[in-house]
Amino acid sequence: MTPAGRIETLYESRKDGINMATPTVDMDLCIGCGLCVELCPKVYELRDDKAWVIGPNACDTCDCQQSVDSCPVTAITME
């Protein structure tokens, strides 16, 4: 299989939900700024000033990478 073929296969696997990482929020670190909710509203919801993951596989734009990169206290990790 060519490298391009391997990448395509990996992409298809992720689309099917296989080996797909999901976001986790460290509640001790979260300051409730709401940025992740603005970026990925299908994935996060603010409850009592903390971000909760309500749709771990629901991001249809960036696989939550934008929220991970943008969280000011690095409270979001992908596992």
Does position 71 interact with ligand SF4 (CB under 6 A)? The reply is yes
Torsion of CA 41, 76, 35, 69, to 10 degrees: -110
Does position 31 interact with ligand SF4 (CB under 6 A)? The reply is yes
Dist CA 42 CA 53 (whole Å): 9
Does position 73 interact with ligand SF4 (CB under 6 A)? The reply is yes
Does position 40 interact with ligand SF4 (CB under 6 A)? The reply is no
> Which one, of 27, 45, 35, 34, lies nearest residue 66 by Cα?
35
Does position 58 interact with ligand SF4 (CB under 6 A)? The reply is no
Least CB distance to ligand SF4 at residue 42 (A): 14
